A and B are shown apart, each in its own frame.
Chain A
Amino acid sequence: MPAVKKILLGHGSGGRLSRELVETVFLKSFSNPALLPLEDAAEVKIPGATLAFTTDSYVVTPVEFPGADIGRVAVCGTVNDLAVKGARPLALSAGFILEEGFPIDLLSRLAASMRRAADEAGVSIVTGDTKVVEKGKADGVFINTSGVGLIPAGRSLTSAAVRPGDFIIVSGNLAEHGVAVMNARHRLGLGGAIKSDAAPLNGLVEAALKVRGIRAMRDITRGGLATVLNEVSGACGLTAEVDEESVPVSAPTRNACALLGLDPMYVANEGKLVLFAAPEAAAEILKALRSHKYGKNARIAGRMLKEKKPQVRLRTSIGGSRIMLMLEGEQLPRIC
């Protein structure tokens, strides 16, 4: 079987193929110590301070969906990539690739939504860029945002620091963003009951970091919790074991996923974190998370374990267990 040589949609899914693409193409040319940990944001040291720096591009159809829009997601995603490194966001950039014919009204709405999200995060969009391509050469609007933040002295959050016995804490109900977008895209008729969770999480992160004992944090985006846990398990060499019953998923979302044949562990989020906490601090951290509006449904979902062959494992609701791999390719809806 010849190796896949062309870009597939799965290369953008955030799962195993994305990882392979980064490793075989980009790391080959770009590799350097700041990039190599491949975390949500890079640490860049300047005299007297450590900066966090990140960039992300946003491609969503449709651009508006229940609970959020591409603009809000573009701001929140980048703020969250900074926040999980413990950084306080300093400034954002916004680049727009627009398709000829895109309604300016809609663009204004998206810009206003970005402003609201940035205000909520306490950060400004200080620079930007606009390009327009011919009709048919893009899908409405693509947005890129970059962000720079300051990591306060003494803070260090990295997946490699996770220890055996650490608790895995999920900050709230999973899979809402992915299901909301899919519902809007395919007009599935689920109504507006399931809304995107897109939210800036720097406030939640600051609240949690008041408690000592957080080793690492990741935002759970494309590829879902399963994919993030695989990345962390790979970085720290430990097994991640989560309990299906303890992973927060709301009943409507669980049912929508069941109807569509999707696994909530793999569906995208835009406003959820997974935290890795020292066992003695976990209860306190959970309390801090739950006292914040974006962490009300936070739960301890599992533990990190030292095992000969590290894996990501789910203890199922009926008491069985199974592995959870990274997302393979795209998540496709099933036939029956």
Chain B
Amino acid sequence: MKASPAERFSSPLWRDRALAASAISEITRLAAEAASKTGGTVNFMEVCGTHTMAIAASGMRRLFPKELRMLSGPGCPVCVTSQGDIDRVLALAAVPGVIIATFGDMLKVKGSKGLDLGSARERGADIRVVYSPLDAVAMAAAEPSRQVVFIGVGFETTAPVIGGAVVRAKKLGLKNFSSTAFFKLVPPALELLLSDPENKIHGFMLPGHVSAIIGTAPYKFVAEKHRVPCVVTGFEPLDILSGISMLLKQVVSGKPLVEDEYFRAVRAEGNPAALKLMKEVFSVSAATWRAIGRVGNTGLEFSKAYASFDAVKRFKIEYREAPEPKGCLCGTILLGKALPPDCPLFGKACTPSNAVGPCMVSSEGACAAWFKYGG
């Protein structure tokens, strides 16, 4: 039988115990050497929530040497969405006659008044979970008397897919489809982290699927300007262990680079078709990040040609600053300055079924990973 693309990407070899054991012993040796250069601890940040989950699900943290610390970064789509933007999503859900189409992750993120899309649904709002934004376009075509709003959040991984849905809606001439564009960009997020003089990040494990879209070049400034090692990494356990090894070798050699561990999916120039689509539908803009605030050139908004598909404009939903949930450390955790168990609410007032902050809600969230898998 011919292997499916998924099987080729995810062969059992990527979870092989013997290979993992030899990778761990290499990591242990390198970490001791690297730690002597960094002053005791080597802190790497896995920028992406998919890595956070994969690390926790594989139970590899228990195999790490004591010198190595993996910190979660600002790469969980739901987690970095600002409280004010979540309030805007809830405001959209409250517009009479609107169907909200969303990825499941957004259902349980609470707005500043403690309500979420799930509770809006209980009060009668029409909220539908979809797997693809194209399903939302189909919904709009099938129900012409209703307005369908897709909740677009995420990074360079989701933006092209949602861009594709918007292009489809335009081709079909649909006047009842729109989307939010609460998109964030990964490379500027790293600039934000590194511009904090208190950061203690010795290397970035970069998300393979983002680089499948944008390539590796946009990260050059991290290695060249900030002198911080980068490795674009895949999501299988051995991808992650190899990524850590490569980062450690860069720390030891003192020569920061942008390396690609996930070369079976990533090309240096990225995916030109997706990039073109993104450029057509969206333009780079300021974005509001949880815990960081509004920063210029760190996100995407609809381009002029597609501005009429912007749900926020169509329904005139204003942005209001809203405070973080009280006591919640999500913001600090996203910046790599705390681990989930450091939060006083973790596992007590805040659990996945009664989450205070988005890091506990999202299936990509650091707190959810630590809670579910025990770190």
Contact flag A319-B21 (CB < 8 Å), given A332-B105, A334-B105: yes
Give min CB distance, B159 to chain A, whole Å: 10
- Cβ of B105: which chain A residues have Cβ within 8 Å of it? 332-335
**CB <8 Å contact, B130 and A186:** yes
Identify which of B6, B114, B122, B351 contacts A258 (C-beta below 8 A): B6
Identify which of A263, A320, A329, A330 contacts B60 (C-beta below 8 A): A320
Count of chain A residues near B, Cβ 8 A: 41
- Cβ of B209: which chain A residues have Cβ within 8 Å of it? 336
Count of chain B residues near A, Cβ 8 A: 57
Bitwise interface map of B from 221 to 244 toward A, beta carbon under 8 Å scored 1, else 0: 000000000000000011001000
Q: In this assembly, does B104 line the interface, its C-beta being within 8 Å of a C-beta of chain A?
A: yes
Bitwise interface map of A from 217 to 259 toward B, beta carbon under 8 Å scored 1, else 0: 0000000000000000000000000000100000110111011
Among B20, B58, B105, B356, find the residue whose CB has the most chain A CB atoms closer than 10 A: B58
Binds B, one of A3-11, A54-62, A73-81: A3-11
- Cβ of B216: which chain A residues have Cβ within 8 Å of it? none
**CB <8 Å contact, B63 and A319:** yes
Q: What is the chain B residue whose CB lies nearest that of A336?
A: B157
Q: What is the chain A residue whose CB lies nearest that of B375?
A: A322
**CB <8 Å contact, A316 and B59:** yes
- Cβ of B17: which chain A residues have Cβ within 8 Å of it? 245, 317-319
**CB <8 Å contact, A318 and B158:** no
Q: In this assembly, does B103 line the interface, its C-beta being within 8 Å of a C-beta of chain A?
A: yes
Give min CB distance, B234 to chain A, whole Å: 12
Q: In this assembly, does B372 line the interface, its C-beta being within 8 Å of a C-beta of chain A?
A: yes
The count of A-to-B residue pairs whose CB atoms sit within 8 angstroms is 126
Q: In this assembly, does B307 line the interface, its C-beta being within 8 Å of a C-beta of chain A?
A: no
Bitwise interface map of A from 301 to 323 toward B, beta carbon under 8 Å scored 1, else 0: 00000000000001111111111
Give min CB distance, B141 to chain A, whole Å: 15
- Cβ of A90: which chain B residues have Cβ within 8 Å of it? none
**CB <8 Å contact, B353 and A263:** no
Bitwise interface map of B from 50 to 85 toward A, beta carbon under 8 Å scored 1, else 0: 100000111111110000000000000110000000
**CB <8 Å contact, B60 and A318:** yes
Q: In this assembly, does A88 line the interface, its C-beta being within 8 Å of a C-beta of chain B?
A: no
Give min CB distance, A224 to chain B, whole Å: 13
Give min CB distance, B334 to chain A, whole Å: 16
Q: In this assembly, does A162 line the interface, its C-beta being within 8 Å of a C-beta of chain B?
A: no
Q: What is the chain B residue whose CB lies nearest that of A325?
A: B372
Identify which of A188, A252, A318 contacts B15 (C-beta below 8 A): A318
Q: In this assembly, does B179 line the interface, its C-beta being within 8 Å of a C-beta of chain A?
A: no
Contact flag A255-B356 (CB < 8 Å), given A319-B20, A332-B363, A333-B131: no
**CB <8 Å contact, A263 and B57:** yes
Q: In this assembly, does A16 line the interface, its C-beta being within 8 Å of a C-beta of chain B?
A: yes
- Cβ of B107: which chain A residues have Cβ within 8 Å of it? 332
B residues 333-375 with Cβ under 8 Å of A? 349, 351-354, 356, 362-364, 371-374
A319 to B61, CA, bound (A): 11
A316 to B130, CA, bound (A): 31
**CB <8 Å contact, A255 and B157:** no
**CB <8 Å contact, B10 and A255:** yes
**CB <8 Å contact, B353 and A17:** yes
A147 to B209, CA, bound (A): 50
Contact flag A321-B50 (CB < 8 Å), given A1-B356, A261-B363, A332-B104: no
Among B62, B237, B363, find the residue whose CB has the most chain A CB atoms closer than 10 A: B363
A173 to B219, CA, bound (A): 42
A263 to B158, CA, bound (A): 22
Give min CB distance, A227 to chain B, whole Å: 13
- Cβ of B352: which chain A residues have Cβ within 8 Å of it? 328-329
What are the 7 A-B residue pairs with the smallest beta carbon separation, nearest first? A320-B59, A332-B104, A318-B20, A322-B59, A255-B6, A317-B15, A323-B374
Given contacts A8-B118, A335-B158, 20 further A-B contacts (CB under 8 A): A6-B122, A10-B353, A188-B131, A254-B10, A255-B7, A259-B6, A317-B17, A320-B58, A320-B59, A322-B56, A322-B59, A322-B62, A329-B353, A332-B108, A333-B129, A334-B362, A334-B363, A335-B103, A336-B209, A336-B364
Provide 22 A-B residue pairs closer than 8 Å at the C-beta atoms, listed in order of the A residue: A186-B131, A188-B131, A259-B6, A263-B57, A316-B58, A318-B58, A319-B63, A320-B62, A321-B59, A322-B58, A329-B352, A333-B103, A333-B131, A334-B362, A334-B364, A335-B78, A335-B106, A335-B154, A335-B158, A335-B362, A336-B157, A336-B364
